[in-house]
Amino acid sequence: MRVQNWQTQFVQILQNPNYKQWQRGKFDCALFVADCCKAISGKDPAEEYRRTYDSELGAKKALLKFGSYADALSRHFEEIKPSEAQRGDAVTFDFNGALSIGVLWAGKVVTLTEDQGLVLINAKAERAWRVE
């Protein structure tokens, strides 16, 4: 079940000035999606990851210890067919040849990139999770 006023809370995350610039371990794509999931559902799929890394190597070690982003999402949310995903659901997708993670909004994917900050892009979801 989604929390009351989840859309307002989600928009507040999109407007958070901290998400204008990437900072590994504080404001990166995985933690952005986790913050969105928490605002939408009250569940934090990155709870065990938070404050465990601040470098690329640290992030890789955290992934080895706790599993992939997809594993974290699967522990908290039901995986659904990408074609069934709707606004507020988490997705993985190909972004410039790399697997990335984002949240559906307005028929597109919102994600946080290292060079552009928050972006809203057309992307085909490879996997999807119902965030509720």
pLDDT at 34 over 90: yes
pLDDT tens across 81-122, in order?
999 999 999 999 999 898 999 999 989 999 999 888 999 999
Q: How confident is the model at residue 48 (pLDDT cuts 50, 70, 90)?
A: confident
What share of the chain in percent tops pLDDT 70?
100
Residue 83's CB: how many other CB atoms inside 10 A?
Answer: 7
User: What's the rounded mean pLDDT across residues 69-75?
Assistant: 92
Rounded CA separation 32/39 (Å): 11
**pTM of this structure:** 0.92
The two structure tokens encoding residue 91 = 């997705």
Residue 55's CB: how many other CB atoms inside 10 A?
Answer: 10
Q: Are 40 and 3 in contact, with CB atoms under 8 Å apart?
A: yes
pLDDT at 7 over 90: yes
Q: Are 34 and 41 in contact, with CB atoms under 8 Å apart?
A: no
Nearest to 116 by CA among 96, 132, 131, 99: 96
Q: Are 70 and 127 in contact, with CB atoms under 8 Å apart?
A: yes
pLDDT tens across 52-62, in order?
989 989 988 98
Q: Which CATH class is domain 6-130?
A: alpha beta
Length of the chain: 132
User: What's the rounded mean pLDDT across residues 121-132?
Assistant: 96
pLDDT at 36 over 90: yes
